[in-house]
Amino acid sequence: MSRLSFRPRPLDIHKKLPIVKSIKDFEDDETPTSTRNAQILRLAAEAETEVHQIPSKKVAPEIPTPQFVVVDTYERDYSRTFSQPTSYLRGRGARAEIGEFVEYDLDNEDEDWLQEYNSERKILLPEKLESLLFKLEVLDHKARERAGVITPTLGSPIPVLLQPDAAIEALQALSIRYGVFQSIYNYWKEKRERWQKPILRRLQPPPPVNDTNPYNVFRPREKAHRLHTRRMQRRENNVQSFEKLRQVRRNLDQAKTILEALIKREEKKRDVMESEVSLQRIQMKYKHETELLEDSLALPGFPPFPCKFGSSEEEFVDSDDVANSRLHTRPAALQNPLFMDSKPVMISSGGMRRELRGRHVPHGWLHKMDPLEPVLLFTKPLDPEKLAAAGIVPPSPSPIKNGASAPPYKFHGRIGRGGRLVFDRWNPLLHTPIDCGDSFYMPPKPRPSTYN
Amino acid sequence: MGSIEAPASAENGSIPATCAINGDQRYAPASDGVPPRPSYPAGMTPETDALRKRRSSILPLEVGTRVLCRWRDGKYHPVKVIERRKMHAGGPNDYEYYVHYTEFNRRLDEWVKLEQLDLDSVEAVVDEKVEDKVTSLKMTRHQKRKIDETHVEGHEELDAASLREHEEFTKVKNIATIELGRYEIETWYFSPFPPEYNDSLKLYFCEFCLNFMKRKEQLQRHMRKCDLKHPPGDEIYRSGTLSMFEVDGKKNKVYGQNLCYLAKLFLDHKTLYYDVDLFLFYVLCECDDRGCHMVGYFSKEKHSEESYNLACILTLPPYQRKGYGKFLIAFSYELSKKEGKVGTPERPLSDLGLLSYRGYWTRVLLDILKKHKGNISIKELSDMTAIKAEDILATLQSLELIQYRKGQHVICADPKVLDRHLKAAGRGGLEVDVSKLIWTPYKEQG
């Protein structure tokens, strides 16, 4: 039977399903479902043949039922004394509650003993023995009940508690000779001690719940009520589980406090970051001018930048996180007058430069500095002489782009942080063409200590 | 039937067995004398020395040996030796063997005499190791499932480990026959009777209180005093000679236990692990002037969390194939309807149980689909029948009546197709006349 090419949606048992009364209904359908119709028709055809297949297929491994025969003594053993009342029969109490019924049936052992006992002359009827054994069992059970030693399950051997004196007193009404009673009592007691449990099945306690011997059956069920899930089965309503739940609550409260603090911390971090960013922006704005100042004044007392500044190590700065770059830009930031550092030395140097800058402001950056002009930190300007000496020719402006409308692009030369020579025609920060015609951009001058 | 004729032995070129000549369908007891062995029809070929030597080298047969065995149909079938025991009065090598007919269900396992075995067919190696490999827990789940499916009919829902444990413990039937009322019945499976009954092959049951005894005289003595003529519970249904009794396992513990011991003889996967207090027993009887004779029963948990409406079901062999099983199933659903609940039988179902249930579900559902006008949901079908939705789905799907087309499921109910399925599902058996059910659900009983 071929499968449909698509997987049917799972069937919703609450959804009303149309009943298609005839296979023809499928054919009347306007949609081209010929293949499916064919399939259904084939199913119908198979159903027809199946009728003949099923019996041969399913009955073949079917087993002939084991035999039974009619018991020839049946008619004699079971009397025709039952008449059904017109009303439905009602159950009476259990036999144990009725009392006079002798529940015990002699077994082979008892019969053999009785035969032996009666061997010389018939002293005791089997019915009498049956009745006596039954009564001894019941009396012993009552004695154990009074002593409070009834075990709910069969753990250890169950001893005989009934004393012969007590037994004969209780059984006086049966009018048996003492000798006979004595024999029966001894036989019963010996049997009981061999069995280690009551011989009347009703009085035998069930096997313990955890007994795994498959011969011991009818265990009491641990719990009548079984919970659905394992979690529910584990949970109990007691002090222990209360403590457990309280601990869980404490833990959750603590977790909540920690998380709230964490949120606060992260917010603070974001604030710091934002300040940092605006700081950097401002710093970049001021950078150019500061360089000019430094250049023209060539402060003799100004501490040189550390050597590693501009060394190959700095290549990594790009990919590092903010904190890292902040560390490295600090020397530059120190030049910023807005940056309030607690270190007194720096303040003095910053204050000094502020004075210097103040003088240049009118001609410097305020008018001419394009705020979009990139300030590339950590780069150095090219030395045209050295370039010439090395035979490096700066690229000429692109001839193609040098159209009428397009402004001429000029390539800026600089030395990258790793020492590469870079000619920009594209602002790497702003992603705009660099129009150097109007630009006042001047790459910072090399520090003598790092460049030479 | 898959019966296998004993193969002609290449060694002596004798003719194949023709045991079907023996008109007796039941296998001849040993006392009837040694029946002719298949390969050596009487008086035809004396055994050669070589063959005698071979015989003595393989005897006694080891447990696990595969051999052909003459069954009650007079034909030879492949068997596996499950167990062996020494004969009561025999030589050191005189054993009888407990064999499993590999083609058939375990219920047909039995003790056989050596004469029934065709020793020429003995497979040289004991395949115990192969067997171990097959049931080893090292296999993948898929492999195990495959083996379970192919090798062990009716055990599909047990895993390999518990299956092995089950088979080891129950591999040999303890009680071979029982007498119950009018019938002497061959048993099918092991039942864990109390250890005091270990030494008996036959038990005599009182057909009313179901007490069991080892000797006929004990039963006869019991019958003179037994005061019961029907199961010790309330009659809740009567129609003609058929009556149903409800017996509370708590009120009638010994009766309930007796019934379980008895039923286990005919049910492979019945468990007697737990006590009977939590169950109600519904005992179906045929009544006459001798009393109400049990024909079958089903048990039901008083409170089922899994919505089981039936735990064990059994029709006693003399009453099988008369529709009583179907009646019991139908009755269990009528009780569920009265309770206003859906129900399902406890799993696993036996091979015969599954057949009966499939038939019942098919009949009930297809009867509704034949008559119903308009659309219908599975839930509605479930509410109408008290059959659990899963069982309805499984039934309709196995009959391929649920089709998926144009993005939705439809029920295909062509009358011709339905009639064919109904015919295959068989007759409905005895009808449950709901008006004759006088019953209060357990929960509402005082």
DSSP assignment string, B372-430: --S-B-HHHHHHHH-B-HHHHHHHHHHTT-EEEETTEEEEE--HHHHHHHHHHH----S
For chain B, give every residue range classified as CATH 3.40.630.30. 221-446
Which of A207-211, A315-319, A383-387, A442-446 comes out lowest in average pLDDT?
Answer: A315-319
Instruction: Give the per-residue pLDDT at A337.
Output: 45
Residue A158 CA to residue A144 CA, distance in Å, equals 10
* The pLDDT of residue B25: 36
- Which pTM does this prediction carry? 0.62
pLDDT of A101 reads 86
Residues 38-57 of A with CB under 8 A from B: 40, 43-44, 47-48, 50-51, 54-55
Selection from A251-265, A305-319, B72-86, B92-106 with the highest mean pLDDT: A251-265
- State residue B437's pLDDT score: 96
Task: For residues A325 and A273, give the distance between their C-alpha atoms in angstroms, rounded to a whole number.
Answer: 12
Handedness of CA B298, B300, B180, B28 (dihedral sign): positive
* Residue ranges of A 8-27 with Cβ closer than 8 A to chain B: 8-9, 11-23, 26
Spell out which residues of chain B touch residue A8, defining contact as CB-CB under 8 Å. 404, 409
CATH number belonging to domain B19-126:
2.30.30.140
Backbone angles phi, psi at B315, to 5 degrees: -110, 125
pLDDT in the model for residue B392: 95
Query: Quick check: A93 and B382 CB within 8 A?
Result: no
pLDDT, one tens digit per residue, over B244-270 is: 999 999 999 999 999 999 999 998 888
Tens-place pLDDT, residues B13-45: 333 333 333 333 333 333 333 444 444 444 445
SS3 A145: helix
Mean pLDDT value of segment B44-67: 72
* Minimal C-alpha gap between A186 and chain B (Å): 20
**What pLDDT score was predicted for residue A277?**
92
pLDDT at B171: 73
- In this prediction, residues B298-307 reach a mean pLDDT of 92
Residue A35 pLDDT > 70, yes or no? no
| Active-site residue (options: B149, B346, B390, B400) | B346
**pLDDT tens, B103-147?**
888 888 888 888 888 888 887 555 444 444 344 444 444 444 443
* pLDDT of the residue at B420: 92
From residue B180, give the alpha-carbon distance in Å to each of B213, B228, B318, B344.
Answer: 11, 15, 10, 30
Tell which A residues from 377 to 416 touch B, by Cβ distance under 8 Å. Answer: none
Q: What is the mean pLDDT of chain B?
A: 80
Please identify among residues 314-373 of chain A the ones whose CB lies closer than 8 Å to any CB of chain B. none
- Residue B235: pLDDT above 70? yes
Least confident of A293-307, B53-67, B164-178: A293-307
Chain A 225-254, CB below 8 Å of chain B: which residues?
A: 226, 228
Q: Which residue has the higher pLDDT, A384 or B441?
A: B441
How far is the C-alpha of B158 from the C-alpha of B172, rounded, in Å? 20
| Residue A88 touches chain B, beta carbons under 8 Å | yes
Which chain B residues are closer than 8 Å to A224 by Cβ?
Answer: 278, 303
Distance CA A132, CA A134 (A): 5
Q: From chain A, pick out residues whose CB is under 8 angstroms from the CB of B439.
A: none
Question: What whole-number distance in Å separates Cα of residue B278 and Cα of residue A220?
Answer: 10
Judge: B376–A15 Cβ closer than 8 Å, yes or no: no
Q: What number is the average pLDDT over the span A223-242?
A: 67
Residue B364, H or E segment: helix B351-371
| Per-chain mean pLDDT for chain A | 70
CA geometry: angle at A393 spanning A391 and A398, to 5°? Answer: 160
pLDDT of B204 strictly over 50 = yes
The beta-carbon neighbor of A14 closest among B103, B377, B400 is B377
| Pick from A55-59, B203-207, B287-291: least confident | A55-59
Say yes or no for a CB contact (<8 Å) between A91 and B247. Answer: yes
Closest-CA distance of chain A to residue B290, Å: 4
The single-letter code of the amino acid at B377 is S
CB < 8 Å to A48, chain B: 420
Cβ A414 vs Cβ A381: under 8 Å: yes
Q: How many Å apart are CA A89 and CA B91, to the nearest integer?
A: 58
pLDDT mean over A88-106: 80
Which pLDDT value is given to residue B221? 92
Comparison of pLDDT for B142 and B210, the residue scoring more: B210
Q: Is B156 helix (H, G, I), strand (E, B) or coil?
A: coil
Averaged pLDDT, B162-182: 78
pLDDT, greater one: A109 or B41: A109
Residue A100 has pLDDT above 90, yes or no: no
With CB atoms and an 8 Å threshold, state whether A107 touches B403: no
Least confident of A6-15, A358-367, A393-402, B207-216: A358-367
* Interface contact A99, partner B, CB < 8 A: no
B153 belongs to the catalytic site? no
Q: Does A35 touch chain B (CB under 8 A)?
A: no
CB contact under 8 A, B234 and A20: no
pLDDT in the model for residue A436: 45
Q: Which of A217, A226, A227 has the most B C-beta neighbours within 10 Å, making it the best mutation to test the interface with B?
A: A217
Which residues make Cβ contacts (< 8 Å) with residue A397, sequence separation at least 6? A408, A409, A410, A411, A425
According to the per-residue pLDDT averaged within each range, which of A41-45, A135-139, A254-258, B52-56 is highest? Answer: A254-258
- Beginning with the edge strand found earlier in the chain, give each strand of the sheet holding B76-86 in spatial order: B110-112, B95-101, B76-86, B66-70, B117-118
Q: Which residues of A touch B26 (CB under 8 A)?
A: 67
Lowest mean per-residue pLDDT among A61-75, B112-126, B322-336: A61-75
Q: What percent of chain B has pLDDT over 90?
A: 43
B179 vs A contacts (CB less than 8 Å): 71
pLDDT at B239: 95
pLDDT at B135: 43
Query: Between B96 and A311, whose confidence is greater?
Result: B96
Chain B positions touching A108 (Cβ under 8 A) are 214-215
CATH 3.40.630.30, domain B221-446, yes or no: yes
Give residue A36's pLDDT.
47
Confidence band, pLDDT 50/70/90 cuts, at residue A342: very low
Poorest-confidence range of A46-60, B322-336, B350-364, B423-437? A46-60
Question: CB under 8 Å to A392, separation ≥6 — which residues?
Answer: A421
Question: CATH 2.30.30.140: which residues of chain B?
Answer: 19-126
Q: Are A74 and B318 within 8 A, CB to CB?
A: no
- Between CA B355 and CA B349 the distance in angstroms is 9
